[in-house]
């Protein structure tokens, strides 16, 4: 049996709108990032479950907030990828507004893991999200994905560029370099999740 508590995660709900989100009664750890940044792969790596979250080479596949229950104690939440170009401007604007509302207003949110592709400098829309998250009440960690594709110098440069972009938004945010393939950074993210979800259920509406 796995000693990883996240290994017990199971899919329970797909919420396409604010009204369909579950009651804010448990701590939530949310995964946010551009389309195809590797959110599903990271979820699978953290939970040591190969197909907990279905991965796809097609950007924009996740079109709802997907909730995964962990031992009845808290939720992992896969948020729709932002910035997908092959949908209408109106739909992109709708999801952007909903994601920002969730990050700022969702009272049961305890940790926001913001994924950025380590192979490229933060994009203009990544930077917009950095700025928008200034209003969030929860700890935010920048998770640089796909670091196994880079050499040592390139990884160092990726961290430096991400830090500069975050600082330009007027914030200081921890940065974790990760790889879903090699396991880099998973222990650190596990610790963040454990620290921010300790205590279990919340009072309704808390």
Two tokens at 121?
A: 């400098």
| pLDDT for the residue numbered 99 | 86
The region that residue 16 occupies, defined by phi over 0 for left and psi between -120 and 50 for alpha, beta otherwise, is alpha
Bridge partners of 28, per DSSP, are 75, 109
pLDDT digits (tens, 9 = 90+) for 91-135: 767 777 888 899 989 999 999 999 999 999 999 889 988 988 888
**pLDDT for the residue 82:** 78
The span from the CA of 141 to the CA of 170, in Å, is 15
- pLDDT at position 88 is 67
Interval 123-156: pLDDT, tens: 988 998 898 888 888 999 999 999 999 999 999 9
**DSSP string computed for 27-87:** -EEEEEEBTTSSHHHHHHHHHT-TTSS---SSTT---SEEEEEETTTEEEEEPPPB--TTS
Range 159-169 average pLDDT: 95
Q: Please report where in the chains the tokens 């990883």 appear, as a residue.
A: 4
Q: What pLDDT score does 155 carry?
A: 96
Q: Which of 2-6, 20-24, 82-86, 199-203 has the lowest mean pLDDT?
A: 199-203
Contact 83, 34 (CB under 8 A): yes
Report the Cα–Cα distance between both ends of the chain, in Å, rounded.
34
Percent of the chain with pLDDT over 70: 87
| Contact predicate 55/40, CB 8 Å | yes
> CA–CA separation, 147 vs 154, rounded Å?
9
Q: Which pair of structure tokens corresponds to residue 10?
A: 């199971």
For 28-84, how does the pLDDT look when each residue is reduced to its tens digit (9 = 90+)?
999 999 888 989 899 999 999 887 876 544 444 457 899 999 999 999 999 988 765
Interatomic CA distance for residues 84 and 30, integer angstroms: 19
């Amino acid at each position: 049996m796995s000693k990883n508590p996240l290994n017990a995660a199971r899919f329970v709900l797909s919420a396409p709108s604010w009204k369909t989100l579950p009651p804010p009664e448990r701590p939530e750890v949310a995964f946010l990032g551009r389309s195809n940044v590797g959110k599903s792969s990271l979820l699978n790596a953290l939970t040591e479950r190969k197909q907990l979250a279905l991965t796809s080479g097609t950007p924009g596949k996740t079109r709802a907030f997907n909730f995964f229950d962990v031992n009845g104690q808290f939720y992992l939440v896969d948020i729709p990828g932002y910035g997908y170009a092959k949908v209408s401007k109106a739909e992109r604007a709708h999801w952007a507004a909903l994601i920002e509302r969730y990050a700022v207003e969702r009272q049961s949110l305890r940790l926001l893991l913001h994924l950025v592709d380590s192979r490229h400098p933060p994009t203009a829309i990544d930077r917009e999200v950095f700025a928008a998250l200034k209003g969030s009440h929860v700890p935010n960690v920048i998770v640089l994905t796909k670091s196994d594709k880079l050499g040592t110098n390139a990884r160092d440069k990726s961290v430096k560029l991400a830090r500069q972009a975050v600082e330009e938004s007027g914030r200081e945010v921890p940065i974790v370099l990760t790889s879903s393939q090699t396991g880099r950074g998973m222990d650190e993210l596990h610790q963040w999740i454990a620290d921010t979800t300790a205590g279990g259920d919340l009072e309704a509406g808390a």
